[in-house]
Structure 1
Amino acid sequence: MQIEERTAGDIIILDIIGKMTLGEGDEILKDKINSLVLDGHKKIVLNLAGVPYIDSSGLGEIVRTYTTVSRQGGSLKLLNLTKRITDLLAITKLLTVFETHDSEEDAVRSFSASARV
């Protein structure tokens, strides 16, 4: 698994590329998120378009990422979920926990909308 980091203003977009499975980069995502949070970043988008496969460990890593960011007063949003990831989140009832978006523009704009609420 690889992570490519981009920014849109004060929003960090992480493009996840590759399988999210046990032993396939779970430490990479954890370390990246911890580093971003320590640097004060509170608006993070995980772009999952490049994730062809995810297992329960990968799903657990997304949940841990969400928890880490939320505990620091931040917000994590998911972008470009594949059908498999959407189905997995629905089966585990986690689809109601995460804010998901189909376009990067909508995901970025949603941070402004949630700030006004």
Structure 2
Amino acid sequence: MKIKTREVGDVTVVEINGKITIGEGDVALRNTIKELLEKGRKKIVIDMKNVSYMDSSGVGELASAYTTTKKQGGELKLANLNTKVHDLLQLTTLISIFEVFDSTAEACASFE
């Protein structure tokens, strides 16, 4: 899994490419969110367009990232969910805690 971040104004877009699975993927996501919050970046969009697979550990890490961000006064939103990831979040009922957008542009604009 590869993670790339870019800034759109005061919003940080976290682009994930690959699988979010136990071990490497979930730890990389956790560390990225932690680093952003330490830098004071509290408006975060996770772009899931290139996520090919996510296991239960990945789902747990997304939920943890959301909680951690909220506790520090930030907001975390999801963009570009593919059908598999969307269905997985719906199955776990986590879809209801996240604000989900069809594009990163819409997600970034929602912070205004």
The structural deviation recorded for 1:18 is: 0.7
The structural deviation recorded for 1:31 is: 1.0
User: Hey, what does 1:95 align to over in structure 2?
Assistant: 95
The structural deviation recorded for 1:28 is: 1.1
Whether 1:59 aligns to 2:89 is no
Q: Secondary structure at the match of 2:24?
A: coil
> C-alpha root-mean-square deviation of aligned residues, in Å?
0.8
Whether 1:22 aligns to 2:17 is no
User: Hey, what does 1:76 align to over in structure 2?
Assistant: 76
Q: Secondary structure at the match of 2:94?
A: coil
**2:84 aligned partner, one-letter code:** R
Normalised by the length of structure 2, the TM-score is 0.97
The structural deviation recorded for 1:24 is: 3.2
User: Hey, what does 1:40 align to over in structure 2?
Assistant: 40
User: Hey, what does 2:104 align to over in structure 1?
Assistant: 104
Compare CA radii of gyration and give the structure with the larger one: 1
**1:11 aligned partner, one-letter code:** V
Q: Give runs of ≥4 in structure 1 deviating > 2 Å.
A: none
Q: Secondary structure at the match of 1:45?
A: strand
Q: Secondary structure at the match of 2:57?
A: helix
Q: Secondary structure at the match of 1:34?
A: helix
Q: Which has the higher strand share?
A: 2
**2:107 aligned partner, one-letter code:** A
Normalised by the length of structure 1, the TM-score is 0.93
Task: Determine what percentage of the aligned residue pairs are the same residue.
Answer: 46
Instruction: Report the count of equivalent residues.
Output: 112
